[in-house]
């Protein structure tokens, strides 16, 4: 009888893992990081420029390719700067009227 409980718990854990994997794939958040540094920098850039994680990862990888020995602060700032320069319409606030109020 105790084996039934263990089997049900294993099935529950397997189902929960499957559900989490499907949920991540549906959101497009499944990203493969090459290192912990890449992951940290990509999350930092994504929160700074408010973009999707795969887009931030591409910017970080580009900066790491150019200057891998730079500090994390420099890489994050450069990636955010170049991402903003390459995608200007996504992050600029525009107003209909020239004068606010």
Spatial separation of the C-alpha atoms in residues 45 and 50, rounded to whole Å: 8
| pLDDT at site 22 | 58
pTM assigned to the model: 0.60
Domain ranges of the chain: 1-30, 32-101
* pLDDT at residue 1 in the model: 61
Angle between helices 72-86 and 36-49 (to 10 degrees): 50
- The answer to whether the beta carbons of residues 90 and 51 sit under 8 Å apart is yes
- Cα(40)–Cα(15) distance, rounded to whole angstroms? 29
User: Consecutive 10-residue runs of the chain (101 residues): their mean pLDDT?
Assistant: 71 66 53 89 91 91 92 94 83 58 57
Q: Say what the pLDDT of residue 25 is.
A: 47
- The pLDDT assigned to 15 comes to 67
């Amino acid at each position: 009888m105790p084996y039934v409980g263990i089997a049900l718990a294993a099935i529950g854990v397997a189902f929960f893992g499957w559900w989490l994997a499907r949920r991540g794939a549906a959101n497009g958040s499944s990203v493969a990081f090459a290192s912990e540094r890449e992951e940290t920098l990509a999350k930092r850039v994504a929160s700074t420029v408010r973009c999707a994680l795969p887009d931030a990862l591409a910017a970080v990888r580009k900066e790491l390719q150019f200057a891998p020995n730079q500090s994390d602060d420099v890489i994050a700032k450069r990636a955010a700067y170049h991402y903003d320069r390459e995608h200007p319409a996504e992050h600029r606030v525009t107003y209909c009227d020239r004068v606010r109020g």
